[in-house]
Structure 1
Amino acid sequence: MQGKSKNACEEHMDMAFDDFLIENEAFPNLCEAADEKCSYCDKKAKYVLKEASEI
């Protein structure tokens, strides 16, 4: 995983959101994923959670 972003499939969206908030103490921007894999499993990620500075 690069930077402070989290990739998440639909199954792990809640976990990624919680982890992002804890690790960054900031609300993430939600973007659609292109060809990334989920940060928690090998499924295709549907979303990428990023800090505002990463957009």
Structure 2
Amino acid sequence: MLKENKYCCEDHVDMAFDDFLVEKETFPCLEKSEDSKCSYCNKKAEYVLKLPS
């Protein structure tokens, strides 16, 4: 199974949304991230995209 959560910084939020939609075929829940790194550039992640509960 694919990774459930996608972490992104402010610069990569659009790319993360696009990738999430393609991979999961559904819209994500967007939440603030605490202590994670961006999946694209390793900067501090501002957001986490998750499957809806």
CA drift of 1:4 comes to 1.8
SS in 2 for 1:11: helix
Give the unaligned 5+ runs of structure 2. Answer: none
Please identify runs of 4+ aligned residues in structure 1 that moved more than 4 A.
none
- What do you get for the CA RMSD once the two structures are aligned? 1.3
Please give the residue correspondences for 1:44-55 in structure 2 after superposition, counting only pairs within 5 Å.
Answer: 44-53=44-53
CA distance in 2, matches of 1:39, 1:50: 13
Percent sequence identity over matched residues? 60
Aligned length: 52
Taking structure 1 as the reference length, the TM-score comes to 0.88
Does residue 15 of structure 2 align to residue 15 of structure 1? yes
CA drift at 1:41: 0.6
Q: TM-score, normalised by structure 2?
A: 0.91
Give the drift of 1:5.
1.1
Partners of 1:31 and 1:37 lie apart in 2 by 14
What amino acid is the match of 2:37? K
